[in-house]
Amino acid sequence: MKKTVIIYGSTTGNAAMAAETIAAKLGGGDIKEVAKASKDDLENYENLILGSSTWGDGELQDDWYSFLPTLKSANLNGKTVAVFGVGDQFSYSSTYVNAMGELYDAAKAAGAKIIGATSTDGYSFDESTAVRDGKFVGLALDYDNQDSLSVDRITAWANQILPEL
């Protein structure tokens, strides 16, 4: 695996827990809270895994807002990016993991090769901007309603993306 960093934003700790589990399942990688991330983190790693919980009416986790312009303006050509999102598919059924869609859009616009799309099977939600061509653009997690499935979902996703990292 090439040099990999997981950058995440977490308010309640679920996205942080996901980042740690993803790193463990991948067998390594650096982990950084987005509030402590810098442009150097985007430039010095070949692989980026970006994650956020979704808040309010489908917004990114608060700490992402000051870093999003840096992500959008970065040159990610030649970099491989995977995204993950944490949300509540029942209470926020019309905006489930929308933050993941926003991270995907920013990384794609910056020229990254995006990997790690996953099936929407097994989830129950109405809408999500993180669904493209019938799949999630990355790994969707719901610790509130499907906590027991999280480790298995992370394991399957890590196995899916590892060959490309």
| Domains of the chain, first to last | 4-164 (3.40.50.360)
Per-residue pLDDT reduced to its tens digit, 79-136 = 999 999 999 999 999 999 999 999 999 999 999 999 999 999 999 999 999 999 999 9
Specify the pLDDT at position 134. 97
- Can you tell me the distance from the alpha carbon of 151 to that of 107, in angstroms, rounded to the nearest whole number? 25
- For residue 18, which of 90, 99, 73 has the smallest C-alpha distance? 99
Per-residue pLDDT reduced to its tens digit, 19-67 = 999 999 999 999 999 999 999 999 899 999 999 999 988 999 999 999 9
Per-residue pLDDT reduced to its tens digit, 142-165 = 999 999 999 999 999 999 999 999
List, in sequence order, every beta strand (DSSP E) within 17-157: 30-33, 47-55, 59-60, 80-86, 113-115, 118-119, 131-132, 135-136, 139-141
Note every long-range contact of 132-136, with CB atoms under 8 Å and residues 24 or more positions apart, other chains counting: 132/101, 132/104, 136/85, 136/97, 136/100
